[in-house]
Amino acid sequence: MTTQENNAPTGPVALVTGGARGIGAAIAARLAHDGYRLVIADLHAPEDAIVGRHVVCDISNESDVAALITDIRSREGQLDALVCNAGINVRKSVEELSLADWSRVLATNLTSCFLLARSAAALLRAQKKGRQGAIVTIASTRAHMSEPDTEAYAASKGGLVALTHALAVSLGPDIRVNCINPGWIHTKGTPPRPEDHADHPAGRVGTAEDVAALAAFLLGPECGFITGAEFTVDGGMTRKMKYLE
């Protein structure tokens, strides 16, 4: 593991996986703005200015996760919030999807969250200074609906929704666990077209900050009665019925 740091000396501590870019970077920036000290675990160093402490590691690897949590215990000395955000997609027809592809997607998107929750539970539980520990998992609307050739991704995100409620029941009342299902969140690549925005009942495609705002709320002290729940941030797309004329 390598590390780079830019953190205030005090404040609650949040671990965000996959925070070097995209939705994870926006969640990290939002939490830093809200006064958290950040630990960001990613395969890569950050693309932009450093928020918090960056640790380069593979969260699908059991020993990397164990070392990451040991490192937080010794350096920050506490953990208040865990955001399981890192994820990958391999888009291939089911006939072409190898077992190695399937296993890599499941390991990154689902098994990593089990490894992180298992390793971090004791630290999150110890956080009793007037607040509960909190975990937010980032699944997808693809847990519930699909395009062709997305079997591994859909299965991993469906599993993550189920893992979220199982963890909420097992780790409560000391730790709350909730899930966010983003829809189309534009973070990179070709910008959405006007018709893509117009297709959404909310009138636009989502931003990483839309997800970050909900994650900040779910981790915070105002939602102490919310656990095991699943929240959709998709501009209404999964509520929109479409029939061909």
Ligand X SMILES: NC(=O)c1ccc[n+]([C@@H]2O[C@H](COP(=O)([O-])OP(=O)(O)OC[C@H]3O[C@@H](n4cnc5c(N)ncnc54)[C@H](O)[C@@H]3O)[C@@H](O)[C@H]2O)c1
Closest distance between ligand X and the C-beta of residue 185, in Å? 4
The C-alpha atoms of residue 205 and residue 95 are separated, in whole angstroms, by 32
Query: Residues 32, 40, 85, 214: which binds ligand X (CB under 6 A)?
Result: 85
Q: Which one, 58 or 80, has the nearer CB to ligand X?
A: 58
Strand partners, 5: 53
Nearer Cβ to ligand X (127/137): 137
DSSP per residue, the chain: -EEEEE--SSS-EEEEETTTSHHHHHHHHHHHHTT-EEEEEESS--SSS--EEEEE--TTSHHHHHHHHHHHHHHT----EEEE---------TTT--HHHHHHHHIIIIIHHHHHHHHHHHHHHT--SSS-EEEEEE--GGGT---TT-HHHHHHHHHHHHHHHHHHHHHTTTEEEEEEEE-SB--SSSPPPHHHHHHSTTSS-B-HHHHHHHHHHHHSGGGTT--S-EEEESTTGGG------
- Within residues 130-159, the interface with ligand X by CB under 6 A covers 138, 140
Binding mask 88-117 toward ligand X (x if CB under 6 A, else -) reads: x-------------------x---------
How many binding residues for ligand X (CB under 6 A)?
26
Nearer to ligand X, 127 or 142 (CB): 142
Minimal distance, residue 174 CB to ligand X, in Å: 25
The footprint of ligand X on residues 12-31 (CB under 6 A) is 17-18, 20-24
Question: Which residue in 153, 181, 199, 233 is the catalytic one?
Answer: 153
| Nearest CB to ligand X, comparing residues 127 and 199 | 199
| 42 counts as binding ligand X under rule CB under 6 A | yes
Q: Min. distance of Cβ 128 from ligand X in angstroms?
A: 29
Residue 36 is among the residues annotated as catalytic for this protein: no
Quote the least distance from Cβ 48 to ligand X, whole Å: 12
Interface ranges with ligand X (CB under 6 A):
17-18, 20-24, 41-44, 58-60, 85-88, 108, 138, 140, 182, 184-185, 187-188
Catalytic residues: 153
